[in-house]
Amino acid sequence: MNIFNFFRKTPVDQSVHQSRQAANMTWAKSSLSASFHSTHVFLRRNLWIWPIIAVVVLAGVGYLVRSAIESTMRDNLRSGLQTLLDVEVAMLETWFQVQESNVQSVANSTEVRQITQVLINPQEASSTLPQGNPALTPEEAHKRLERHLNPIMSSHRYSGYILADRKKTILASSSQELVGQEEVPEFDDFLTKAMDGTSIVSAPFRSNFQLKSASGRMTTQVPVMFAASPVRDENFQVIGALCLQIRPEEEFTKILQLGRLGESGETYAFNRSGLMISNSRFDDDLKLLGLIPQDADGASLLTIQLSNPGGDMVNGYRPKTLRRDMPLTLMVQKAIDGTAAYDLDGYPDYRGVSVVGAWKWLTRYEIGVATEIDHAEAYLPLTILQRTFQFMFGLLVLSSLAIFIFTIIVSRLQREARKAAVAAKQVGQYELLEKLGQGAMGVVYKGRHAMLRRPTAIKLLDLEKINPGSIARFEREVQITCQLNNPNTIAIYDYGRTPEGVFYYAMEFLDGINLETLVNQAGPQPEARVIHLLLQICGSLYEAHSKGLVHRDIKPANIMLNRRGGLSDVIKVLDFGLVKAIDEKKQAGMTAANSLTGTPLYISPEGINAPALVDARSDIYAVGATAYFLLTGHPPFVSSNLVDLLRMHVMDAPIAPSQRLGRPVSAELETAVLACLEKNPANRPQTARDVASLLRKCPEYGRWTVDDGDAWWGRYERGQLGSSTGRVSRTLADQAIEGIAGSGVGERRSAQQNFDQTIVSESAGD
Write out pLDDT tens, residues 518-539.
999 889 999 999 999 999 999 9
What's the rounded mean pLDDT across residues 334-342? 87
| CATH 3.30.450.20 domain range(s) in the chain | 72-87+251-381, 108-208+223-246
- Higher-confidence residue of 92 and 492: namely 92
Indicate if the pLDDT at residue 100 is higher than 90: yes
pLDDT tens digits along 607-658: 888 887 888 999 999 999 999 999 999 999 988 888 889 899 989 889 999 9
Residue 747: other Cβ atoms inside 10 A: 16
Q: What is the mean pLDDT of the chain?
A: 80
pTM of the model: 0.49
Which neighbouring-strand residues pair with 432?
Answer: 447
CATH architecture of 424-761: Orthogonal Bundle (1.10)
Q: How many CB atoms lie within 10 A of CB 52?
A: 14
Angle at 68 between CA 64 and CA 70, to 5 degrees: 115
Backbone angles phi, psi at 357, to 5 degrees: -165, 175
User: How crowded is residue 387: how many other Cβ atoms within 10 Å of its Cβ?
Assistant: 10
Q: What are the residues whose beta carbons fall under 8 Å from the beta carbon of 656, sequence distance 6 or more?
A: 665, 670, 674
Q: Any idea what DSSP says for residue 524?
A: S
pLDDT more than 90, % of the chain? 38
Distance of CA 370 to the CA centre of its chain: 34
CB 163 within 8 A of CB 231: yes
- Band of the pLDDT at 139, cuts 50, 70, 90? confident
Residue 713 pLDDT exceeds 80: yes
Can you give the length of the chain in residues? 766
Which of 1.20.120.450, 3.40.50.2000, 3.30.450.20, 1.10.645.10 would CATH assign to domain 108-208+223-246?
3.30.450.20
3-state class (DSSP) for residue 742: coil
Question: Terminal CA-to-CA distance of the chain, rounded, Å?
Answer: 101
- Rounded Cα distance between 531 and 631, Å, is 10
* Nearest in space to 63 (alpha carbons), one of 375, 345, 386, 346: 386
Q: What per-residue confidence (pLDDT) applies to 330?
A: 93
Q: Which of 544, 460, 536, 538 lies closest to 503 in space, CA to CA? A: 460
* DSSP-assigned beta bridge partners for residue 371: 267, 358
Taking 60 as the threshold, does the pLDDT of residue 47 lie above it?
no
Note whether 622 and 630 are within 8 A (CB): no
Phi and psi torsions of 495, nearest 5°: -150, 145
Supply the pLDDT for residue 164.
Answer: 94
Q: Hey, which residues does 492 pair with through a beta bridge?
A: 507
Is residue 6 pLDDT above 60, yes or no?
no
Amino acid at 395: L
Does residue 395 surpass a pLDDT of 90?
Answer: no
CATH 1.10.510.10 location in the chain: 424-761
For the four alpha carbons of 380, 384, 386 and 390, in that order, the dihedral sign comes to positive
Residue 441 to residue 474: CA distance in whole angstroms: 10
Amino acid in position 41: V
Tens-digit pLDDT profile for residues 535-568: 999 999 999 899 888 888 899 988 999 988 888 8
CATH of 72-87+251-381, one of 3.30.450.20, 3.40.50.800, 3.40.50.300, 3.40.190.10: 3.30.450.20
pLDDT range class, residue 589, cuts 50, 70, 90: very low
Q: What is the C-alpha to C-alpha distance for residues 428 and 431, in angstroms, rounded to an integer?
A: 8
- The residue among 271 and 755 whose pLDDT is bigger is 271
pLDDT of residue 608: 87
**Residue 551 CA: distances (Å) to CA of 201, 489, 607, 625, 741:** 81, 12, 12, 15, 16
Residue 470, classified by CB atoms within 10 Å of its CB into exposed (0-12), middle (13-18) or buried (19+), is: middle
